[in-house]
Structure 1
Amino acid sequence: MKERLKEFKENGYLILDNFFSKQDIEVVLKDAKKVFLRQFIKMQYVSESLLEDLSEEQFNNFLYRLFDEDLECLANCGKQSQHLISLHSLSLNAKIVELLIEMGLKAPTISTRPVLYFNHPKLSKKKVFHKVDAHQDWRSMQGSLNSVVIWIPLIDINKELGALEILPKSHVNGLRTNHIENGFGMVLLNEDEQENLISVELNAGDALIFSSFLIHQSGDNITNKPRWSCHFRYNDLEDPSFIERKFAHPYIYKPIDELITKDFPTISDILKIYK
């Protein structure tokens, strides 16, 4: 344990092979895909009777089709996938809590809700929505100085699929964000730093934990498949600087004022549920 902590503090990250069972990861991935499958059926891309025979390639093609034909629907599916019980359960897994304490977080707390990604150029109108250049997560977290991120692949992710690229030991150089882009604290790298980036290829079941100050970026996904992953962020309530800053919290969650679906629900809609 002491060796792992030493390695983490020195390099700013730690790769954890086979941290989860593949079954635990598969549950989250299947639940996420089911969100989209329900809309594929509604859009008549596929009938429910043929779902069991649906190939990965067919699923991906339907995903890209939904992006082209109904971006609002795809975006809402993406939003619902962030609220899966299996995803949130994974973020609270006892192994994660033990790891956080091992990495020096005396009183681990959730920084923000879990995030699930399905990245591909065919699923984004802006580059930042499928590939984020060099950035630091602390700028958006603004939490404890020892805050960490746990990045988890939901499928095997190699360099061709856009594996995460990290700059080892960059965490000790502090906050280097020079501007914000879509919520990401962007960092301008020099030529040497660009050359020292390393690609972290991970398999489903592996995990990567890193300091929120570690500079990292997305790799290029040059395949025809989305890169499915999730990441969790944690603060330490015992960090003196966090206490001194009154537990600063930059995230804002609130409902919109408008009724999204006009004239819904009616009394008859309600009675279909309760009578």
Structure 2
Amino acid sequence: MIDECSINAYKENGFAIFRGAIDRSVIDELIFEISQFGKSIVGEGFDFYSSETKFVSKEKQSLLYDRLRYLPSMSRLSGNVNLIYLLRELGLTEPVLMGCCNMRYDVPHDVNHLFAWHQDSLYLLGSLNAVTLWIPLTNVNLNAGTIEVIPRSHLNGILPFKRISGKIIAEYIPFLQRDLSLDMDVIDVPVSIDANPGDVVVFSQFLLHRSTINHSSMPRWTAQVRVSDLNCAWFKKNKYPTGDRKNIFFCDYPGFKHSESEC
């Protein structure tokens, strides 16, 4: 049963937490495969719940991080029937996965891999009603590390941004967060997300959000599933742009304001 209060909160604020939307067995399956894969890549000392794991080299750490998205359980999570039902309840009538489903592994006190305030749509493009499903595999809060969001910021469409790299601007060259950044100060009071394994945090890909430092002694694990809607009229008209095949300089969202009639 989908919580109607959370659906209404999403429609008003651009984000919501759906408590217990994923069965614990789905989370346990992910943890099991991560543990097995970690031991294969890093070594027998790998422990999902421990930050004491000593990576043999940065290369092995990178191998682990970059390949977590390819776990079979991650693929099954992306097509989970409860998530598909939830997406349709949120108005995505023909949901399709974007090529950017992944997993994050945030070790305690690491500041090098935090993301400052940003909008996913700036990099990922997609439909006007595209969403990110942010799924914790461990508890997330201001101590363990989480995300902060600016309610209703999704109503303003693509916000001012600037290029911060020398990457050439060409239609089929993707632009990442090391290439573009927000070009404005965020002065609104953020909301921090507290959630547990089994909860699903859903937010519009136009919503301003950022990651926070993990102050605990354990790693923070989260999965991200990103979804567009093939029935979005704007998406169809613009030939279904996605961030792996196009970039924001060749994909305009002129004067976009949130309107259910547009999607």
- Shorter-chain TM-score category? 0.7 to 0.9
Q: How does 1:118-267 map to 2 (within 5 A)?
A: 118-120=105-107, 127=112, 129=113, 131-179=114-162, 183-184=176-177, 186-188=181-183, 190=185, 192-193=187-188, 196-251=189-244
**How far 1:56 moved relative to its partner?**
3.6
Instruction: Identify which of 48, 65, 72 aligns with 1:85.
Output: 72
Amino acid at match of 1:232: V
Contact 1:35 1:80 in 2 (8 A): no
**How far 1:5 moved relative to its partner?**
3.8
Deviations 1:247-275 (A, max 9, x none): 112215xxxxxxxxxxxxxxxxxxxxxxx
Amino acid at match of 2:147: L
Structure 2 equivalent of residue 71 of structure 1: 58
**Identical pairs, percent:** 25
**How far 1:80 moved relative to its partner?**
2.2
Contact 1:36 1:74 in 2 (8 A): no
Label 1:78 to 1:180 Cα distance change in 2 as closer, same or farther (>3 A). Answer: farther
For structure 1, the 5+ residue unaligned runs are 253-275
Larger Cα-atom Rg: 1
Contact 1:16 1:208 in 2 (8 A): yes
Label 1:177 to 1:112 Cα distance change in 2 as closer, same or farther (>3 A). Answer: farther
State which drifts further: 172-181 or 221-230.
172-181
Label 1:191 to 1:70 Cα distance change in 2 as closer, same or farther (>3 A). Answer: closer
Q: Give the superposed CA RMSD.
A: 2.3
For structure 2, the 5+ residue unaligned runs are 165-174, 246-263
In structure 2, C-alpha distance between the alignment counterparts of 1:140 and 1:172, rounded to whole Å:
18
Contact 2:144 2:220 in 1 (8 A): yes
SS of the aligned residue for 2:217 comes to coil
Contact 1:136 1:177 in 2 (8 A): no
SS of the aligned residue for 1:112 comes to coil
In structure 2, C-alpha distance between the alignment counterparts of 1:147 and 1:14, rounded to whole Å:
14
SS of the aligned residue for 2:28 comes to helix
Label 1:180 to 1:100 Cα distance change in 2 as closer, same or farther (>3 A). Answer: farther
Contact 2:6 2:17 in 1 (8 A): no
In structure 2, C-alpha distance between the alignment counterparts of 1:199 and 1:166, rounded to whole Å:
6
In structure 2, C-alpha distance between the alignment counterparts of 1:191 and 1:85, rounded to whole Å:
38
Label 1:247 to 1:115 Cα distance change in 2 as closer, same or farther (>3 A). Answer: same
**How far 1:189 moved relative to its partner?**
5.4
Structure 1 equivalent of residue 167 of structure 2: none
- What TM-score, normalized by structure 1, do the two folds share? 0.77
Whether 1:36 and 2:38 are equivalent positions in the alignment is yes
Aligned residues: 231
Amino acid at match of 1:201: D
